[in-house]
Every structure is written in C-alpha cells, then in structure tokens.
Chain A
C-alpha cells in the first residue's frame, strides 16, 4: 500500500509572549491511499493545528519548527509558499469547522467556486462554471445552476458545508483535511454529510484526514484512528481495534465519556481534571495528573509502544488485561 501522506515527527510551536506553546510536539502518522484517518482529541489537543500544518496555514505566531510532511516525495514543511499554494485546494484540500464562516459573505457562490478552478487550471470561465455546477450536483445540492447565482447567506448551514465540500472536490484532490466539518450541524444533516463524504471518498479514491472530537463519527467513517492529547498522539491503530479495546487510559476515558454508553440513571462518566496548559507541560506523561493508573514510572516520558499488532499506545500501564472481558 502506498501512502498518500506521511507525517514524521511534526512539531508546530506557537511563540507567544507568555512562552513557547508546543501545540504539536512530535506527531507521526501515515494516511494510505483512499483511506480515512480519524484524528481525535479534546479542544486544544493540537489536532486542528496538525491539519493546518499539513496545508501550510498555521497562523502567526505559530510555525512548523520540525519534522517532515512527506507528499509525493516532497517535504511540504520545506517547500516555498508558491509551491504550497499550487498544492492547496488542488492536490490537498481542506474543509473547515463552521460552514457559516467559511464562505465569503459578499461573494456569490459561483465566484467563489470559479476562482478556485481558475487558481489551478487555465480554462475559460464557462468550463470553470460547468465544473462548479457538476461539483455542486455531486454533493447533492438540488438545481445547482440556480444555486450558483446565490449568496452564501441564502443557504442553510448544511448546504453551505456541502458547498465547501464541493469546492474541496473541484480538483479531485488526493487528500482532504476535514477539520470537524460536521460539529456545527444538526445530527440529521451530520449523518447526510458523512454518508456523502464516505461515498465520494470511496468513488474518487481520495484520502481523508477527519479531525473530530466525536468518536461516533470516527467509528462510522474512519479506517484508522489517532488519538491526540496535549500535542502528541497517545494511541493509534485500526479503528475497530482501538474503539473496541482501547489501550491508553485517556482513550478509555474518552470512550467512557460518550453518554450513550452509560446506563440510564447512572451519573455520566467523565475524565477528571482538565487538559494541562501547553505552556508548562510537566515532565513525563502529560496525562499523568488525570490518570488513575499513574505512578512514579509515569514521571518518565513514555514512548509509543507496539502493544498489539497494529495498535500502539504511549503508556506504561495500558489496559491490556481488559481484552478478555
């Protein structure tokens, strides 16, 4: 299996006045061709920054300071801004979290789509318009010809996200980075969009990095999963393996926090404490202060251990014994 994208030891730091925030600190993963990787974590775990690092859009004062982002043998962390621009929206596309904010309110949908076509291909406007219309049709927007002439505020949130997905699909990219694209939507719309994306990824062979905090989304969509905590991947593996038998106490807690898994009437389960400040991360395991299993060993920095075939976790006390249960 050839990989579409390989990220090696990525480090993205924010140089703020209060100090250096290591938002992403040594993240590695591989996205296979046509595969969906679910990147899961709480707010502030560095999952979105990882996505923006890949596409080269980390806002100041942030910067990719180390590691490699390998795409077709090229390290995206090192290429020029113009080379990166040619890849963006073309070979690597991105979908954002809030569909109400991603489309420019004062430009018509056709303007925003056609400019995307023209940014990467020399075609006449009419061809570009056709492409835009076809893309709208592909994501299930009825009467695309009319909708092209509309402004974003004339669409509902779900429709706007479909437009954003259509824009991402215009150049049939090899990789789409989706940054919580269904979080801001109704559950029913979320389901529709997920089904749509799954279908499109399967038919076009596009790889996906699906950034989310919602494990149920990942369960239905992703092939592989990487759980992030405090700028690091704490557990990774095949989706079914990780969700059925999580190894890292954090993953266990995360899965336990999904309300539907609790029995009715029981208090909802939660992970005690809060995500540590990335400004002064304690030495050793970052999850130590919230972990029931932590002891002196955890003062050391754990590596990602190969604990089961195809499943790795960054923990000295993994939940290996639960397998039997």
Chain B
C-alpha cells in the first residue's frame, strides 16, 4: 500500500509538471492580455511600464521559470484584474462550486440508483420503460435549456424556489442554512440531470448483467430471501462500476459546472474562470487549471482506494 501510494504520488507529480507546461504555453497562445488590460490611450512609456510590471517583457521560458519558482512557494501569481493572489480568488469561490457539485452528485445517486435498480430488476415493466426513456431525455437535453426551464417553472411561475445567487451562507456554505439550501436546490438539480441518467443506465446494465451470473442463481439456490439476493449479492457487485464512474464524474462536474453557474448566477469557480478568460487574466486561468488537475489526481486516487475496498480481488500492491 505504501509503495503504491509513493509511486502514485511520483506519477502525479509528473502529470502536474506536464500539465503546467501545457497550460502555460496554451494560455500564452490564446492572446495578449496587454491589449485588453491597458487602455488604448496609454502612451508608449506607460505601456512598457505596465508590461514590465506584469512580467510580460520576459521570454516565455523565463516567465515559466518565474511561475514555477513562485508556485513552489505556494504563489500561483496575482490576478491582473483584481491584483489579488489568484489562488486566494479561486479558493474563495471554491465552496460554492464544491457544494453545487456534491449536491448534484448526491441527488444523482439518491435518484439514479433506485431507479436503475428497478429498471434492471423489472426490465419489461412499463415503469422501467418510462425510466429508460426519461434517462435518454436527461442525456440529450442541453443543460442551459433545462436550467432556463427550471427557472421558468419553479422560480417564475410557481415561485417555489429562488433562481439566482447563493442566499444566506454559514461559514461560506449555503447548504447549512435553509435559505441557502433553497437556493442550491435548482442549480444542483440542473447539474444532476445528466448524472442521474448516467447512474440509471450504469446501474441498470450492471443489475441485468449480474442477475445472470451463477453466483446469483446459487444465492437463490441457497434459499436466501429475494431482498438479500438483490441488496447484498447483486448490489455489492454493481457498486464497483457505479463508484468508479461517479467518482470520475465528480471531477468533471466540479470542473465544468460553468454552464449551470452562469445560468443560475451561482458565484462559483466556473463563473470566475469564464470571466477571467474574457479578460485574459492569465494567472487566474493558470491557477484554476492547476487546481483542477490536482483535484482530478486526488479524486482518481480516492476512487482507486475505494475500488480496492469494494472489490477484494483488487489489491493496491506492488505489481503492474
């Protein structure tokens, strides 16, 4: 286990270095922030002074080395726009995105797993067919449109839930207050819709596959109750793929909640990154991408560990 973790850490480090180069070069190629940041009326002297102040006069490789040197000291650069440390800016917005993503994940498992189980156990029932048809809708309807519909129905027409903002927060979290929770609900559902469909389909196909296995038949031949067969023998086996995919999806949910955050004016990291890209605020973009990379690495590691807990055949030891 220790050997495994050490090797994983080393691999993660390589990924981080590679990503930092790609991100740095990529952002450099996107455009010159000077054009946006410095007013067109500024004279030559002012321009050069500003460029030097932002460190943009150095060649790219030197800029990168400066970035790495600072990054190693925990400084991912200062935002051109807010003149605040980029890391701090992002971390401020992080709780909003995290609770949105986790809320969406929670909803998708809470709804997706039972529906998928039902659809897998009774594949020919009308209920299962409705569920599967619904999951196709969940897959194919664009997030922004569903978001707008949710706002129209639940916020505008029925007036049940607020449509924008985070509401009251406690220690920076919305879900800790009733008002904040009501603000969280619509965007979380919006973000969850795709994942619900995913979990339904995964669970259903897992159940259908597992039900045909000899060990399920043997479990029935032992005289176990149908509930025990389903909830212990079948369920524990389908959890393996579900955990894997849901875990990996969590990363992309956090990273790409941009659309939902924009529609519901949810002040999270997604909204910050869109704004930063618009003004080519390089340090924020780079810092954001680095944090996302780090997050994916951590999530993958957790998924691997969970996997070994769920499936005794997987052992996180030396080989392979």
Contacts and interface: CB of A to CB of B under 8 A. Distances in A.
Interface of A: 55, 57, 59, 85-90, 93-94, 96-98, 101-108, 112, 115-116, 119-120, 151, 153, 164, 167
Contacts, number: 78
Q: Helix, strand, loop or mixed for chain A's interface? A: mixed
B6 to A, nearest CB: 26
Contact of B220 (A88, A98, A105, A108): A88
Interface string B206-239: 0000000111111111111100100011001100
Interface residues of B, number: 23
Contact of B215 (A94, A103, A151): A103
Given A96-B214, A101-B215, A120 B313 contact: no
Contact of B222 (A88, A97, A98, A151): A88
A120 B223 contact: yes
A81 B192 CA distance: 39
B232 A102 contact: no
A136 to B, nearest CB: 15
Q: Is the interface of B mostly helix, strand, loop or mixed?
A: helix
Contact of A94 (B213, B221, B232, B313): B221
Interface in B290-313: 310-313
B240 interface: yes
B225 A98 contact: no
Contacts of B232: 107, 115
A115 B222 contact: yes
Given A101-B213, A104-B233, A106-B312, A90 B218 contact: no
Contact of A115 (B216, B224, B237, B313): B224
Interface in B233-291: 233, 236-237, 240
A106 B221 contact: no
B36 to A, nearest CB: 55
A52 to B, nearest CB: 8
A106 B214 contact: no
A120 B224 CA distance: 8
A104 B312 CA distance: 11
B218 A102 contact: yes
23 contacts: A88-B221, A89-B221, A89-B224, A90-B223, A93-B221, A94-B218, A101-B214, A104-B219, A104-B236, A105-B311, A105-B312, A105-B313, A106-B236, A106-B311, A107-B232, A107-B233, A107-B236, A115-B228, A116-B222, A119-B225, A119-B228, A153-B313, A164-B218
Interface string B86-117: 00000000000000000000000000000000
Given A87-B223, A90-B223, A116-B224, A106 B240 contact: yes
